[in-house]
Amino acid sequence: MYIGNEAWHSRPLDVHRVSDHPEFNSLVALVLDSSSALVNYLSIPSRTKKSKSDGFKVFKALLLDLYVCWLEDKNQWLGISSNNNAWITGSRYNKLFISKNIVRLLLKLESLGLLNVLPHRHSDIDRPHLNHSKRYKASDKLQSLFLQSCLSFDDLGVPLREVVVLRGGDVDANGDATGKTSTLEYEDTPATVVMRADVMAYNSLLARHHIDIGSLTKPHVEIDYWDKNRRVNAKINIMIGQHNKYVYRVFSRGSWDCHGRFYGAWWMRISKASRADIVIDGCPTIEVDFKSMHIHLLAQEAGVLLPPDPYSLNRVYIEGLKRPEQRRWVKALVLHCINAKTLKSAFRAVRSDAGGDKLMRAVTDKQLKLLLDGFLAHHPSLQPHMGSDRGITLMRKDSDIAAEVIRLLTLQGIPVLTVHDSFIVKSFHWVDLRCAMGMASIRVAGRDLLADQDGFVACREQGYETYALGALKLNYWGRQCEMSSRRQELFKRFAGRAVVTGLGSRRSSEG
């Protein structure tokens, strides 16, 4: 039975969390000391003889993510599957070898009063879009034990997870599977081995640098999003911390030719306005992004050049719209048309993703067709790509460009933060970034794609150095508030503890 809206204030269980921090070991001991029945249960040998997981290890992994979930939001739930088939210990996506014993452990913790549970919901007829797995969170009893712990986000180690992910179907904006599709097992190839090495080298570099939003007194950002299940504007907290900057690549539709974008880090989920306050090692940053990237990639394939901003049209096509508003509509419409298999499904997607824009949610197919025809009258070479489902392969190309930018800068020891076709570096590394972006786009796409940053475009003919001083003037020192500076000092004190390995990392047990 579906209970209110609680079930949707949740996230999936993260089976990749690992920590050997003394404070976490103290929390484990505290919970075990509170229940001899739990200790006796965990001491029973595993019923799964071939499982590489033991009861205590499963318990520690579950307890750690319950604690992190509680730190993130006291009202947040964890979605955990009760299907034994969801727990395959030989999977490359289950590095901690969490077995189906976790299902029995959840039942035991519930019976001991340590977990609150929302039952799963399943119906093929009555609003199937509301179906969900069981939801769990720490009970008041367990939360009282959490309150006695001083374990913080910065005490968490780097996740032990696969960084090259292949999904069977499409993915959402966070790289998670849509519908019932799941991750796919695969045999490594020379290409995946190279990809994995590059991403691990990148994660290792990120682990050595403090990345924060300098204006935050508390390490979280509240973001607005459109909840498709409830069809309302909702809010969620994104935790800003060093435990939440691990990056991985996701491919989709069971093909290495589809998608491939980078996901995982907290800066990928916050607004551009919030990203403007990011500091790296206390230094201000600048963000550079490729302009209208997919449109220009298609134009490159056709051998034509488009204006810098192809979404701005010379007249208004829908009565009542102002030009800035129309540009936003045109961009959303064209990108949906490139991603969708038909124009009709693209028009539906425009309305579905309109969020709180009531006017866009009410726009008709006829009006959208008029707007699309106006765009194509300006750029006829793009006509064949409307309703073509090309977005998925264009993402593979833009992700390869991002991977090359990351590789080039990682070799120089320069941390760069990616948000698909946008990149953030310390301000004084601006020229290094612009050169890497130009080199990467030429190598992957065969053309130096247009990019801009913070309101002005660099002139390639005169060279980027001409504009470096102007870019630096847009930033200023002293962006960090006192709490951000404290977080940075704490990071410096413990930065040497996180060791990244070929599969993931473990936290040192130093005090």
Predicted confidence (pLDDT) per residue in 376-399, tens digit = 999 999 999 999 999 999 999 999
Give the whole-number percent of the chain exceeding pLDDT 70.
81
pLDDT at residue 75 tops 50: yes
Interatomic CA distance for residues 16 and 504, integer angstroms = 9
Model confidence at 459, pLDDT cuts 50, 70, 90, reads low
Please name every residue paired with 17 in a beta bridge, in sequence order, or none if there are none: none
Residue 252: its pLDDT value, please? 94
CATH of domain 283-295+392-478: 3.30.70
The conformation of residue 456, written as its DSSP 8-state character, comes to B
CA dihedral 98, 103, 104, 105 (to 10 degrees): 60
The conformation of residue 240, written as its DSSP 8-state character, comes to -
Interatomic CA distance for residues 159 and 153, integer angstroms = 12
Q: Which among 345, 351, 326 has a CA at the least distance from the CA of 386?
A: 345
Answer whether 434's CB lies under 8 Å from 288's CB: yes
Predicted confidence (pLDDT) per residue in 289-325, tens digit = 998 999 999 999 999 999 888 999 988 988 888 888 9
Neighbours of 341 (CB within 10 A): 10
Interatomic CA distance for residues 266 and 268, integer angstroms = 5
- The per-residue b/e assignment along 401-426, b for 16 or more CB within 10 angstroms, e otherwise, is bbbbbbbbbbeeebbbbbbbbbbbbb
How far is CA 267 from its chain centroid?
A: 8
For the chain, count helices (H), then strands (E): 16, 17
Q: Highest-confidence range of 89-98, 118-127, 301-310, 390-399, by mean pLDDT?
A: 390-399
Model confidence at 205, pLDDT cuts 50, 70, 90, reads very high
Answer whether 395's CB lies under 8 Å from 253's CB: no
pLDDT at residue 151 tops 80: yes
Interatomic CA distance for residues 466 and 468, integer angstroms = 6
Q: Which among 48, 66, 72 has a CA at the least distance from the CA of 109?
A: 66
Interatomic CA distance for residues 402 and 388, integer angstroms = 24
Please name every residue paired with 177 in a beta bridge, in sequence order, or none if there are none: 171
Residue span(s) of the chain under CATH 3.30.70 come to 283-295+392-478
First-to-last CA distance in the chain?
47
The conformation of residue 84, written as its DSSP 8-state character, comes to G
pLDDT (mean) for 242-268: 92
Residue 66: its pLDDT value, please? 93
Residue 244: its pLDDT value, please? 83
Interatomic CA distance for residues 484 and 495, integer angstroms = 16
Please name every residue paired with 212 in a beta bridge, in sequence order, or none if there are none: 279
